[in-house]
Amino acid sequence: MQMHGIPFGTTDWSEIEATEHQGERGVARWRTRQFGSIRVRLVEYSPGYSADHWCSKGHILLCLEGELYTELEDGRRFVLRPGMSYQVADAAEAHRSATAVGAKLFVVD
């Protein structure tokens, strides 16, 4: 990843309007900033959230709160708890996420 043309700045995430994205169950609320080709998000999944699609976009994802279950298309499963992250490249391994208790994530993609 190359980061160009981004001057130093701060983000107060409470001032960024959230957009809602329905899952198969539950809802994801994204607060998003775009810096050229880099998208940075604070994402909150409601309790019981389950993604409605397989994602092949690359991400660096840090779990801030709650618990996130991530399943890869090949059947492998992972659990993220606060302080844990995952990273995956574009088109590397399709994945989808779910949570029983809700989760708050910081995502760069």
SS (H, E, C) 31-56: EEEEECCEEEEEEEECCCCECCCCEC
Collapsing DSSP to helix, strand or coil, 90 comes out as: coil
Contact criterion met (CB below 8 Å) for 42 and 15: no
Cα 59 from Cα 14, distance rounded (Å): 22
| pLDDT score, position 27 | 98
Three-class secondary structure of residue 86 per DSSP? strand
Q: Reduced to 3 states, what is the DSSP secondary structure of residue 84?
A: coil
Give me the number of domains the chain comprises. Answer: 1
Residue 2 has pLDDT above 80, yes or no: no
Q: How confident is the model at residue 4 (pLDDT cuts 50, 70, 90)?
A: confident
90 vs 2, residue with greater confidence = 90
Average pLDDT rounded to a whole number, residues 17-21: 98
Report the pLDDT averaged over residues 71-79: 96
The DSSP secondary-structure symbol of 58 reads -
pLDDT tens digits for range 36-69: 999 999 999 999 999 999 999 999 999 999 999 9
Q: What CATH number is associated with residue 95?
A: 2.60.120.10
Domain housing 53: 42-109
Predicted pLDDT of residue 10: 97
Specify if 4 maps to a domain: no
